[in-house]
Amino acid sequence: MKLVFATNNRHKLEEIARLLEGKHEIVSLEEIGCREDIPEEQDTLEGNALQKARYVREHYGCDCFADDTGLEVEALEGRPGVYSARYAGPAKDSRENMRKVLAELEGESNRKACFRTVIALILEGKEYLFEGRVDGEILQEEHGEGGFGYDPVFRPEGFRESFAEMDLDTKNGISHRGRAAEKLARFLK
């Protein structure tokens, strides 16, 4: 089965393709000729994921899925949440986003946080949602060179290393995106 993953994020595409490896052919927006910025104007992860998937279905007629992910920090009342990618501004600069979160948490002892991913699937005209979550904490500073986004400052519960210090297979086995994609994969079987 061929499915379009409504993303231009190379890292997300690699993670999902690896998780669904051998089961489905995952194609990118670029591969279907979609080069425009797909709107993300909703105030929930679910809303944004559905908006992106619906856009691809409506404009390109493909079965597809889209995701939206947010880092939710307890001491920041759930921020950055749905605004995680553009928390420090519209440039979507990961380093600046991390710096802003670290600055807002300076002197804060409660560093509990979670990552949530929602995947919206549109298959044969029907819509489905799959959610994954991982709890952890925000570190005092960046650790590791791998991953992307907030990975260098997020350490999942039960681990000593940040997401950025983990190899991709380990991260996928416990990550929010991995958990949501696993639910998607089980559904597609």
Distance CA 32, CA 27 (A): 8
| CA nearest neighbour of 116 among 48, 38, 35 | 48
Cβ contacts of 107 within 8 Å, gap of 6 or more: none
Query: Is 68 noted as a catalytic residue in this protein?
Result: yes
| CA nearest neighbour of 166 among 143, 137, 146, 136 | 146
Location of structure tokens 């993300």: 40
Of the residues 63, 67, 68, 151, which is catalytic?
Answer: 68
Q: What positions carry a catalytic annotation?
A: 68
